[in-house]
Chains A and B, each alone.
Chain A
């Protein structure tokens, strides 16, 4: 179990640029989540994948945000035309849906990608 990894850990960009983040979940986990966390707040749900299918997406999520999970393995989150309000920590988590598995429904979080938009 190597844990959830995210890349890059930090990203500084200028307003209007596009950015892409990558998440590698725990290998046997079929569920993957993206969250955004700002200072003093809890993680805010962005989107959820089960295998390669994006099954839920927050209504708060702007059209500038898009996520993919090709082949049900790693996932990418892209933000187009970044704005200063996009500055936040972007968290990825994964979990298992295996029937009877002891750690079903527990989300394992990555270290996050801190985005700063200048």
Chain B
């Protein structure tokens, strides 16, 4: 069965500092991994994905994530946080070997302080 864990309910960083939002996953087949962001009163927006290829993937708004197969992790990173990055971030996984069921984590709220 697929599962996603986001171990931190909330991450606080100062503007200009690097940020990391953690995600670990479990899937029996090939993992398709995603990050989505949800701003207040707005729908979920796609940030980036890992399907195959380079372990470091770059996405929207300067975010990137590193796929680590041995640690079954897909942490979201940004070198320099902005106040406008404050939002709710969701990690998601799909078994790329079959099926289209996508499992989302519970979310991590990111607060960036000016």
Interface residues of A (CB under 8 A from B): 4, 31, 33, 35, 40-45, 48, 50, 55-56, 58, 91, 93, 105-112
Contact = CB atoms under 8 A, between A and B. Distances in A.
State which size class the interface on B falls in. 20 to 34
A42 B100 contact: no
A57 B101 CA distance: 8
Given A109-B44, A111-B43, A42 B106 contact: yes
B44 A43 contact: yes
Interface stretch (B12-20, B45-53, B68-76, B78-86): B45-53
Chain B: interface secondary structure? strand
B89 to A, nearest CB: 10
Given A31-B100, A45-B101, 8 more contacts: A45-B102, A45-B104, A48-B100, A107-B46, A109-B44, A109-B45, A111-B42, A111-B43
B31 interface: no
Contact of A42 (B32, B99, B104): B104
A105 B48 CA distance: 10
A111 B94 CA distance: 22
